Amino acid sequence: MVLHFVLLAAAMRLAPWRRMKDQVRLNVWLGAVVSLMLLWNIHTGILPGLGFHLLGASAGTLILGPPLAYLTITLVILGNALAGNLDLWSTPMNALVMGAVPIAVTLGVLRIVERWLPNHFFVYIFAAAFFGPALAMLATGLAATLLLGMSGVYPFTYLLSEYLPWFVLMAWAEAFITGAALTLMVVYLPRGVATFDDGRYLRNN
């Protein structure tokens, strides 16, 4: 719980608030909050506490940047908690598992892409916006499995056989949605994507 509030405070301090004076970037952020709120309401589950839904955290990381992405995920979790879809007291843990974990993985993949791979539009899309989100969803599933197993809510044997494997399918869906969204954004509204640089990925080729 303490870690969540530390990350939240850091996100609020590091978020590019000055850029929000740009109406386009402000609209992108507000649109992301609403879109993820709706996305999280498309969910299913097998048992209490074992639910599945797309996260959108990777898309938020690439479009908004990590600080705003964490704030956005926290707002989405709070909104769903107030709507009765999530336990309000579990907000910090949910934010860490479904926010901090995928954001960190997505950012790590992006840094590898920027440092080791060619500066090309399709490299950004397929490596950062497709492979990164898939890996982030798998990491989220692993983190959720470890948390549920260590807390004794469900036995590890059940989680490993009936819960974790579903995240492989969710990873493909997360990757496809994120890749499609980033492709549209960088084509039609590149200035609204915080991690995309025309000079790096287009004009440099």
**Domain of residue 79, CATH code:** 1.10.1760.20
Indicate whether 23 pLDDT > 60: yes
User: 32-46, 97-111, 185-199: which has the highest mean pLDDT?
Assistant: 97-111
Domain that holds residue 95: 2-201
Indicate whether 202 pLDDT > 80: no
Residues 6+ apart with CB under 8 A from 61: 69, 102, 103, 106, 107, 110, 195
Confidence class of residue 200 from pLDDT cuts 50, 70 and 90? Answer: confident
Burial 66-95 (b: 16+ CB within 10 A, else e): bbbbbbbbbebbbbbbeeeebeeeebbbbb
pTM score of the predicted model: 0.95
Across the chain, the runs of DSSP E, i.e. the strands, are: 44-47, 50-52
Q: What is the pLDDT of residue 203?
A: 64
Indicate whether 205 pLDDT > 60: no
Indicate whether 91 pLDDT > 80: yes
Q: What is the pLDDT of residue 19?
A: 87
pLDDT per residue as tens digits for the range 171-198 = 999 999 999 999 999 999 998 999 998 8
Confidence class of residue 204 from pLDDT cuts 50, 70 and 90? Answer: low
What are the Cα distances from residue 86, in Å, to 1, 127, 173? 16, 32, 22
For residue 63, give the H/E element and its range: helix 57-64
Number of domains in the chain: 1
Indicate whether 84 pLDDT > 90: no
User: Is there a contact between 86 and 77 (Cβ–Cβ < 8 Å)?
Assistant: yes
